[in-house]
Chains A and B, each alone.
Chain A
């Protein structure tokens, strides 16, 4: 039902989507000639959706995410975030960005790292302390506020970097393979935490990954991409319920979606 409504929205623009890309093209000029990173990419992301981008390296999934964040600029086409240009959205601090590596500043404590965006955005001291405590609780890192990043494990560092992106009031969360460097067990745990976090905060999440199970487990919508040139080959609306225990991954519905993603990835490779 909700999915149907979103489809309507996509086709007839009745409701303003959170992120909307139309015929996006991006060409990088490199020493080996131009690289077509994105070709004719169109997509709508509605409020509160969890959208995963999956594809082999070079398919432009990270580039697309960086376009939403105004870290890359499309050569042609249109993209809006919250109804305005990515640059305006960035200046309005309307998204939090989580990178592949935690990228915490080693000279700041975990608490200090989470305070960083708050200091820059001019939150009051009192508000800062309150928010740091709240997001640390949210990512289950309470008690680690005074530790330095290098005293924590990789998984904990990545959780701290998610907390940093959640600390300020942005209703969009852009995540670029945040769990790519972590082992499977830690990853499962973080995926579970991320889902419950998403349910509690009702943020719109765009999530880049190259793991099929991760994409299927997390998303309401899976965008399959393929390289040379980077483009969207399939958009899959997930039939899975919002409530997802880890063992949902053994159900036939889950396996069916995973199968369709795999087919989409394979189709993208046929013309290689």
Chain B
């Protein structure tokens, strides 16, 4: 009972503080503090309700239990992180986005590719990853290579479409200008069309960053060596070790946010000139 009262108390307190902060003029500090208080309140209520109602840890472990497991299993979590994120997701991301970028330049240059490849790409993109993953595991083996392949399939098309669209984004006047300089294909590509495409390219990179992690984790459900985040999640559920599952989810959430954040930071540095990024 005391835990339930604690939960409601924290709820009330968090609510009161945040409404007062949100009503005040927005500053850098409140911009950080408000979501922080929101998150802490949510975790405290979770803790209180789980303990107060004595919910089985199999259904929902308390945050403190997840934290304890996290600290106790850092070696396992690190091993899984390296296997899934670094080897599977990141290599697939680099390979998939890189090849999509190069193909986009070809598609943009040759119209028959645009007409032939883009519809096929659309078709491939519509294939569910759940269906593709077992086949790719069969082709590329249990280790990270097959996970990277799944990631490549998932990120390739969004990156391709965005880059192709970006390359077509320069205005008629800008292209006319390059024509008056008698600029060739490469000069026009490097000095006008690629810079103009950057906002689109980064849009593709951001979409791909979230897809990469999903792909790498889900692919491990269909066979993997005895490490990896997806492997750990599926086997720990079988062992009713839900605290470890949640610890892996925490890692995935943090990694996913950090990945997205890094891409967004690079975007801000590269496309500082775009109206959506200007601060002066």
List residues of chain A with CB under 8 Å of any chain B CB.
69-71, 90-93, 95-97, 99-101, 103, 105-107, 116-117, 119-121, 148, 150-151
Contacts and interface: CB of A to CB of B under 8 A. Distances in A.
Given A99-B173, A119-B191, A107 B273 contact: yes
Given A71-B179, A91-B182, A120-B181, A105 B195 contact: yes
Across the A-B interface, give the 6 residue pairs with the lowest CB-CB distance, nearest first: A106-B273, A97-B180, A107-B273, A91-B182, A120-B183, A117-B181
Contacts of A116: 181, 191
B26 interface: no
B238 to A, nearest CB: 53
A93 B195 CA distance: 24
Given A90-B182, A120-B181, 10 more contacts: A70-B179, A93-B182, A103-B174, A105-B195, A107-B195, A107-B271, A120-B178, A120-B183, A150-B273, A151-B280
A69 B180 contact: yes
B114 interface: no
B179 A90 contact: yes
Nearest to B174: A103
B124 interface: no
Given A90-B182, A120-B191, A71 B273 contact: no
Contacts of B187: 120
Contacts of A121: 181
* Main SS class of interface, B: helix
A223 B191 CA distance: 36
B192 A105 contact: yes
Contacts of A106: 273-274
Contacts of A100: 173
Contacts of A151: 280
Contacts of B54: none
A150 B277 CA distance: 12
Contacts of A91: 182
A172 B275 CA distance: 34
B20 interface: no
Interface string B259-280: 0000000000001011100101
Nearest to A103: B173
B226 to A, nearest CB: 49
Contacts of A148: 273
A116 B278 CA distance: 23
Most buried by A among B176, B177, B196, B275: B177
A90 B184 CA distance: 12
Contacts of A93: 181-182
B174 to A, nearest CB: 6
A105 B194 CA distance: 12
B191 A99 contact: no
A150 B278 contact: yes
Given A116-B191, A150-B278, A105 B174 contact: yes
Nearest to B176: A71
Nearest to A92: B182
Contacts of A119: 191
Most buried by A among B173, B181, B274: B181
B104 to A, nearest CB: 19
Contacts of B176: 71, 97, 99
A93 B280 CA distance: 36
Interface in B183-206: 183, 187, 191-192, 195-196, 198
A69 B178 CA distance: 12
Interface in B230-280: 271, 273-275, 278, 280
A97 B187 CA distance: 18
Contacts of B179: 70-71, 90
Nearest to A101: B173
13 contacts: A70-B179, A93-B181, A100-B173, A101-B173, A103-B171, A105-B174, A105-B195, A106-B274, A107-B198, A121-B181, A150-B273, A150-B275, A151-B280
B163 to A, nearest CB: 17
A117 B271 CA distance: 22
B200 to A, nearest CB: 14
